[in-house]
Amino acid sequence: MAEHTLGYGVIGAGGISRFAHLPNLARNPRARLVAIADIDPAKARRAAEDFDIPYWYDDYHELLANPEVEAVSVTTWPAAHAEPVIAAAAAGKHVLCEKPIATSLEDADAMVEAADRAGVRFTMGYQHRFGTGLPLVKQLLGEGVIGRPMGMTQVGVGPSAHGVPWFLQKQYSGGGVLIDWGIYTAHTILWLMGPVASVYATSEIFRSEVMVRDQLVTGIDVEDTVMATMRFANGAMGSWYAAWAVAAAHGGMTLDGSDGSIITGRDNSGLSVFSNTFSEPAHLHGWRQLKTVEPVLADLHYRKLAHLIDSVLDDRPLQLTGADGRDALELVLAIYRSAETGRPVSLPLARSAVPQSV
């Protein structure tokens, strides 16, 4: 008997939908692309034609009412993630939400609660988690290779290439480089280092206008540069520099502890590791290079979608959840709050003191 394939719908037919979700759902033998929705009917129809999708809608509620749809990707802009995710969960659909989970912690909490209440699986669009480099760093830390963690640095800078203007408009995006590029990093930092106890940060809009494709976007109200220091609950210290208005792309992460260090390359491929815990003679101690090779981007997207599909069909727990997305947003919002006020901010953010929109 043929295996049941998961009926899948996609809400949002823009850039990431067409680049990552639709092609990688179309080539997954365990998924069946059933429906697409976009408030722009022309986009929904074109996607349906291009990817051979039986149903298209200009209202995602109709997609959610389709009984053939068992799981959805939500690929709308960030301020429009919460409503469809909550509605999808209430309709009993499993959900993959693109990053960031939302633009306010109130929305993120409501999304996680809706999925929990409905008993559906809820994961995030963090494809970098499905590479090889970061899971190996996680494994090395778990094996105690650097000993007690003491300090970490993170740099992620480069020129931005926004496909659409909303990335530079706070009402749609929730913020600039930190919530867009940095949300992956926030998750990585928490995943590797554990909870952050406090942050102290500063940010700037160095570039107030930029060409997006052939359109001049002026009056940019989201930060392009952030510098933050962090104190972790385990006592370690961290620094984080994120910028997307600079000319050259570079960066990576360093992790230092009582017995060793790990340095990652910019795309996580290739780790430098030093450890006093290795068992060879002391005169052989030194830096060693672990040549991890990252999958190509399309395959990372394939894996992040397969993670949800396999979790549902094989009844296996998710490795990455909406709650992880919520925690990453909390760290980002704490850094924004510190940069706004010029004061250190403690985590977890008290519900009453949470900046409900950035």
Ligand X SMILES: NC(=O)c1ccc[n+]([C@@H]2O[C@H](COP(=O)([O-])OP(=O)(O)OC[C@H]3O[C@@H](n4cnc5c(N)ncnc54)[C@H](O)[C@@H]3O)[C@@H](O)[C@H]2O)c1
Binding segment for ligand X among 140-148, 162-170, 192-200, 347-355 (CB under 6 A)?
162-170
Q: Within the chain, where are the H helices?
A: 15-16, 22-26, 41-51, 60-65, 82-90, 105-118, 133-142, 170-173, 177-180, 182-193, 297-313, 322-341
Q: At what angle do helices 133-142 and 182-193 cross, to 10 degrees?
A: 20
Site for ligand X contains 226 (CB under 6 A) = no
SS3 263: strand
Site for ligand X contains 324 (CB under 6 A) = no
> Scanning residues 164 to 183, which ones bind ligand X (CB under 6 A)?
164, 166, 180
Q: Which residue in 77, 122, 130, 336 binds ligand X (CB under 6 A)?
A: 77
CB neighbour class for 169 (10 Å; exposed up to 12, middle 13-18, buried from 19): middle
Site for ligand X contains 12 (CB under 6 A) = yes
Question: In this complex, which beta carbon is closest to ligand X, that of residue 243 or of residue 305?
Answer: 305
Question: In this complex, which beta carbon is closest to ligand X, that of residue 14 or of residue 325?
Answer: 14
Torsion of Cα atoms, 139 then 143 then 147 then 153, to 10°: 0
Site for ligand X contains 73 (CB under 6 A) = no
> Scanning residues 29 to 58, which ones bind ligand X (CB under 6 A)?
37-40, 43
- Name the closest residue to ligand X (Cβ): 14
CA 325, CA 124: separation in Å to the nearest integer? 6
Site for ligand X contains 294 (CB under 6 A) = no
> Scanning residues 180 to 199, which ones bind ligand X (CB under 6 A)?
180
Q: Which residue in 75, 104, 160, 188 binds ligand X (CB under 6 A)?
A: 75
Helix H or strand E encompassing 155: strand 149-159
**What's the one-letter identity of residue 122?**
F
Distance of CA 310 to the CA centre of its chain: 20
Contact in structure between 41 and 30 (CB atoms under 8 Å): no
Residues 6+ apart with CB under 8 A from 295: 130, 131, 132, 303
Question: In this complex, which beta carbon is closest to ligand X, that of residue 87 or of residue 230?
Answer: 87
Minimum distance of ligand X from residue 18's CB (angstroms)? 8
CA 244, CA 255: separation in Å to the nearest integer? 23
Site for ligand X contains 163 (CB under 6 A) = yes
> Scanning residues 256 to 285, which ones bind ligand X (CB under 6 A)?
none
At 16, list the tokens. 């990431």
Question: In this complex, which beta carbon is closest to ligand X, that of residue 301 or of residue 337?
Answer: 301
> Scanning residues 109 to 148, which ones bind ligand X (CB under 6 A)?
125, 127
Question: In this complex, which beta carbon is closest to ligand X, that of residue 15 or of residue 159?
Answer: 15
Minimum distance of ligand X from residue 50's CB (angstroms)? 14
Site for ligand X contains 76 (CB under 6 A) = yes
Question: In this complex, which beta carbon is closest to ligand X, that of residue 76 or of residue 185?
Answer: 76
